[in-house]
Amino acid sequence: MSIATLHYIHDPLCGWCYAAQPLVSAVAETLGNRVALALHGGGLFDEPRTLDPQLAEHIAHSDERIASLSGQPFGKPYLEGLLAEQDTVLFSLPPIAAILAAQALDAAQGYPMLVAIQNAHYQRGLRVVEPSVLTELAEQIGLDGGAFEASFARLHGTETLEHIEASRRLLGSLGGQGFPTLALEVGGRLQLLPHHHDYGRPQAFVNRIAALLPAVH
């Protein structure tokens, strides 16, 4: 039975959220019976943004740092394909809608959908802004493709925009510094979780959270 909630304010196209993936996954795997995970998509690219050389160079430098700190892999199809193609579009709303659509079908599938999107983007260089790609990813995590498409069509619009607005309000109320922001809620009280020093050290992050949980009697 969950006694706490890990609030994760993220964006599927945020490289530093990809760096945090092993931390969040370790909490889900190790403390999942005690800590619920609440996902809050923040909309880093809230309008479609076509990749230009300046932005691509900025992202590439960030990715190098992310890889060195976190050990997260960046695949050749991403580095030499997606990131090198100037018709690549970055747009956070479709992947966030896909996560909401997955959650609507099965509450436990929201985080696996986020991980699938991140890995497809950063490792396989797939265009995760395209609904057809998102449907394929949903099927890969075990969801019915048709049911996912219907859920996505229903949620991709006002509900996704409202979700992003709520996520940004939460970020502001916590005093978070962008994506990712992590906060632990215990007994109705929220506290920010420092995590940057734990990149590449998921067990340290798990231990940090475990120390904040009420004792099991």
pTM over 0.85: yes
Peptide bond just before 180 cis, omega within 30 deg: yes
Alpha carbon of residue 166 to chain centroid: 16
Q: For 100-123, what is the mean pLDDT?
A: 98
Q: How confident is the model at residue 1 (pLDDT cuts 50, 70, 90)?
A: low
- Helices within 71-126 (DSSP H only): 76, 93-105, 110-122
Q: For 28-38, what is the mean pLDDT?
A: 96
* Direct distance between the N- and C-terminal alpha carbons of the chain, in angstroms, rounded to an integer: 13
The pLDDT, as a whole number, for residue 86 is 84
* Cα separation, 32 vs 48, whole angstroms: 35
Walk me through the domains of the chain, giving residue ranges and CATH numbers.
Answer: 4-212 (3.40.30.10)
Q: For 125-148, what is the mean pLDDT?
A: 98
* Cα separation, 103 vs 191, whole angstroms: 25
pLDDT > 90: percent of the chain: 96
Residue 140 has pLDDT above 60, yes or no: yes
The pLDDT, as a whole number, for residue 24 is 98
The pLDDT, as a whole number, for residue 216 is 62
